[in-house]
Amino acid sequence: MPERLVFLTGHLAKARLERLLSGLGETAFSWEIVDIGVKVAALMTEEIIKRRLNLPEGADRVILPGRYRGDLDKLSAHFGIPFVRGPDEVADLPAFLGRAGQPPDLSRHAMKIFAEIVDASGLSLDALLARARKLAAAGADVIDLGCLPETPFPLLGEVVRMLKGEGFSVSVDSANIEELRIGAQAGADFVLSLDENTLPLAFDYPVVPVLIPAIPGDLDSLGRAIEAAERAGIKFIADPVLDPIHFGFAASLGRFIEARRRWAEVELMMGTGNLTELTDADTSGITAVLAGICSELDIRNVLTVHVSPHTVRTVEEHDLARRILFAARADGALPRSYHSGLLQVHDRKPFPATVADIEALAADVRDANFRIMTAEDGIHIFNSKGHAVASDAFELFAGLGVEADGAHAFYLGAELMKAEIAWRLGKRYVQDEPLDFGVAAPAPEQNRTRLAEAGHTLKAKKER
């Protein structure tokens, strides 16, 4: 017998939900829609569902709107069948139901992120510990202590011991051999960057060296360091060094390709900061491309840097990119439709509703509460008294008649401006929800729908 699904919804979304499910054609499940008796489905509560829902005979699973915030486990226990939360938008139901494949597994990756604290020598112990914790929470596997030229780092050994005591993996990055020695003596796990001349340092300590060419761009020099490390029987990582654009970038990409050809089994590292830091472009796209190169060449170590404010989320971006690329590579697929976190400025499907969908919804509204949506033609705002469309939020406000109500005017102004930003960027807009900028911006801890349910927003949209 096919699985029998029950979809809970409200008055306004029922017709559209029915059209979408009917349009799926032949499916591996049967379905039924239950209007729970509220206008806005996202505002149904646990008590309303328990009181009003009479489950159809033979139901196997109940699908709730994505913005339902109640306790699913309690509902499942009460009714004796699983209750699950679907997508936020009706338009995304086909993918949720498996019509576009199962949700991807992004729990796995094969890349180690070294996150450099560039100004480590100028920070206090407390500041360094706080920075390390923040980087680790963002996805860093190794905390890299960057030593600056001609800048003393008297606390280096103490810092390494402190971070190791807190459970961190630690690397020390310096052009000064004595600073690398201090780091190794203190228990650092890695030292960057040794070459064929300075490699013997790593023979005296249980530390993994990251090897670079003694002469910039010279793979033969890197090869001699690799051979020496292999003869000594020590673990190591090799870094051919990625150069900035217009300063050898294309040639350095060629070196990585050639390095993998020469040394098929050697662990490689790529430092991405010369691209993310030194290019005035949003870093998510750069990171995705470099992670793709790493995936193809089986480079399992990356060194990230955050100095410029525009790279503030670089560790989070690398963390998500390594997971997307791992999943895509395992599937033998393009890195598309795995996660939207790197689509920070634009969305693949910015308008879940068509103009016709919005017109049909507006025609069914019977109250004075304003609804705001976006479509290809602009920003729509409608209630029982009218329906207006514009590409400029200021054009809409004058006709709303809310000038005398400060709270209401503030709410609508904020929502309309947010809708305009989303429409101009090609991002998805959802009323009462923050815009989703992927990993470029932390998600707000407070849920706007819950605030609306509590009356903080809906009271401002009082009927007139």
Letter for the amino acid at 352? P
CB 286 within 8 A of CB 275: yes
CB 13 within 8 A of CB 39: no
pLDDT at 334: 84
Q: What is the pLDDT of residues 121-141, one digit of tens each?
A: 999 999 999 999 999 999 999
In whole numbers, what is the pLDDT of the chain averaged over residues? Answer: 90
- What topology is assigned to 112-331 in CATH? TIM Barrel (3.20.20)
Question: Exposed, middle or buried, 297 (CB in 10 Å: 0-12/13-18/19+)?
Answer: middle
Q: What is the pLDDT of residues 18-69, one digit of tens each?
A: 888 888 877 888 999 999 988 777 678 899 999 999 999 899 999 998 888 8
Task: Tell me the pTM.
Answer: 0.78
Q: Can you tell me the distance from the alpha carbon of 195 to that of 205, in angstroms, rounded to the nearest whole number?
A: 16
Dihedral (CA of 60, 64, 66, 68) sign: negative
Please give the share of the chain, as a percent, with pLDDT higher than 70: 94
**Domains 3-96 and 112-331 equal at CATH topology level:** no
Q: Can you tell me the distance from the alpha carbon of 241 to that of 332, in angstroms, rounded to the nearest whole number?
A: 28
Instruction: Give the end-to-end CA distance of the chain in Å, rounded to a whole number.
Output: 51
Q: What is the pLDDT of residues 382-432, one digit of tens each?
A: 999 999 999 999 999 888 999 889 999 999 999 999 999 999 999 999 999
Please give the share of the chain, as a percent, with pLDDT higher than 90: 73
Domain ranges for the chain, please list them.
Answer: 3-96, 112-331, 355-461
Q: Which CATH architecture has domain 3-96?
A: 3-Layer(aba) Sandwich (3.40)
pLDDT at 444: 65
Letter for the amino acid at 266? V
Helices 314-331 & 283-297 angle (0-180, nearest 10) = 40
